[in-house]
Amino acid sequence: MPKNEPDRKKHFLLFFRIFFVLAGLLLAVLWVSREQRWRELTKIGPFAFILALILFILGQIMAGLRWWVLLRSQSIFISFRSAVRLYFLGLFYNNCMPGSVGGDLIKAWYVTMHTNKKFEAALSVFVDRAIGLLSTFLIAVFCYLAFLKGQTIDITAKQGGIFDKIAAHKTMLLGAVALVVIIIIALCAYKKPRSALNRYWHFSYNNASTAMQKLKKAVILYCKRPLAVILAFVITVLLQTMTITGFWFIGKSLGITASIKYYYVFLPLSWIIGSIPVSIGGAVVVEFILTGLFVKFASVNQASAFALALSQRFIWILVSLAGAAVHLMGLHLPKDFFVDYDNPIA
């Protein structure tokens, strides 16, 4: 692949993410300004907001604890305080910075500078993210099956069901598929486009192979420390429970009467979808999904649902600023780290 291709791709993705967020913010401002919808935000009581903020902060500290446990399981010993600081630094880069380097890579970079076990250290960051996403998904699935199964949440329902929409537009979809096939065949008929497609195929295949090898090594490494993995799952469930409950208090303050069981399904689901890197920190995506779910399936007023989504985003950004303080004060630097130790936990 040409040397400048990766840079060009990064610049395009960065531009797309920034444009996506700016467009979403513009639409949100226009929507909120109509009919004085912004007044809905003033309904949030200070007690509910402060409680949600405290619970979210405690949840992020527990997320730092989860990563610290995973590091110790591989005999990489840094202090708990340093792990939390690095976690908040990563949180800031994930939620507030538009660059293509995510918070996970920032954490991996700093922790690998202070240990000879560079692969294990970097891997712990991505295992931590995988455990977080998997636990969040399991919370959403469990709460749906336990509380909402058989109710209005049904993607096959006749009113606006996804399969009905596919059937209604099947001719258009088939035409689009046929057009894509024709374009691919046309490209393959010429040497230069065919060579470019071949390079991209090999590039993607090699990256996928590398990722699978790392995944295999991760499974082998962490299967040797099952107690650490189980503890990480337990910590995740606890911190997500605290966080969701905090936002439920904000919902109550807004006058949303929907049961807390909806929060335990809708919030995790919106977080998972928001983790797809199409915007900065899932901005716009999370708000759109969360508002739509509460309006469609919990019969919540649109303005109230959007106010809930915006308050969540505001708390995320507010807490993430602690990571900026960590960076500016140099609290993530090597002086705060211990060297490797020989006795892992679990």
Count of the separate structural domains present in the chain = 1
Q: What band does 224 get if pLDDT is binned at 50, 70 and 90?
A: confident
* Segments forming the whole domain that contains residue 199: 47-336
Three-class secondary structure assignment of 274-292: HCCCCCHHHCCHHHHHHHH
Examine residue 1 and state whether it is found in any structural domain, yes or no. Answer: no
Contact 69, 77 (CB under 8 A): no
Examine residue 237 and state whether it is found in any structural domain, yes or no. Answer: yes
Examine residue 16 and state whether it is found in any structural domain, yes or no. Answer: no
User: Angle at CA 72, nearest 5°, toward 121 and 101?
Assistant: 30
Question: pLDDT value at position 343?
Answer: 46
pTM (predicted TM-score) = 0.73
Q: How far apart are CA 29 and CA 21, in angstroms?
A: 12
Examine residue 37 and state whether it is found in any structural domain, yes or no. Answer: no
Examine residue 181 and state whether it is found in any structural domain, yes or no. Answer: yes
Sign of CA dihedral 155, 158, 161, 167: positive
Task: Using alpha carbons, list the distances in angstroms from residue 311 to 45, 246, 314, 331.
Answer: 12, 11, 5, 29
Token duo for residue 196:
């470019």
Q: Which carries the bigger pLDDT value, residue 156 or residue 101?
A: 101
Examine residue 158 and state whether it is found in any structural domain, yes or no. Answer: yes
Q: What band does 154 get if pLDDT is binned at 50, 70 and 90?
A: very low
Question: pLDDT value at position 173?
Answer: 65
Three-class secondary structure assignment of the chain: CCCCHHHHHHHHHHHHHHHHHHHHHHHHHHHHHHHHHHHHHHHCCHHHHHHHHHHHHHHHHHHHHHHHHHHHHCCCCCCHHHHHHHHHHHHHHHHHCCCCCCHHHHHHHHHHCCCCCHHHHHHHHHHHHHHHHHHHHHHHHHHHHHHHCCCCCCCCCCCCCHHHHHHHCHHHHHHHHHHHHHHHHHHHCCHHHHHHHHHHHHHHHHHHHHHHHHHHHHHHHHHCCHHHHHHHHHHHHHHHHHHHHHHHHHHHHCCCCCCHHHHHHHHHHHHHHHCCCCCHHHCCHHHHHHHHHHHHHCCCCHHHHHHHHHHHHHHHHHHHHHHHHHHHCCCCCHHHCCCCCCCCCC
Q: What band does 254 get if pLDDT is binned at 50, 70 and 90?
A: very high
Examine residue 175 and state whether it is found in any structural domain, yes or no. Answer: yes
Question: For residue 84, which of 71, 99, 74, 95 has the smallest C-alpha distance?
Answer: 71
Q: How many CB atoms lie within 10 A of CB 171?
A: 8
Q: How far apart are CA 58 and CA 243, in angstroms?
A: 8
pLDDT beyond 90 at 17: no
Q: What band does 82 get if pLDDT is binned at 50, 70 and 90?
A: confident
Question: pLDDT value at position 182?
Answer: 73
Burial of 317 (0-12, 13-18, 19+ CB in 10 A): middle
Examine residue 33 and state whether it is found in any structural domain, yes or no. Answer: no
199, 211, 93, 100 alpha-carbon torsion, rounded to 10°? 0
Give the relative orientation of helices 302-328 and 80-96 as an angle to the nearest 10 degrees. Answer: 130
Which amino acid is located at 6 in the chain? P
The predicted-structure confidence for 36-78, as pLDDT tens digits, reads as follows 556 777 888 999 999 999 999 999 999 999 999 999 988 888 8
In the predicted model, what is the mean pLDDT of the chain? Answer: 78
pLDDT beyond 50 at 157: no
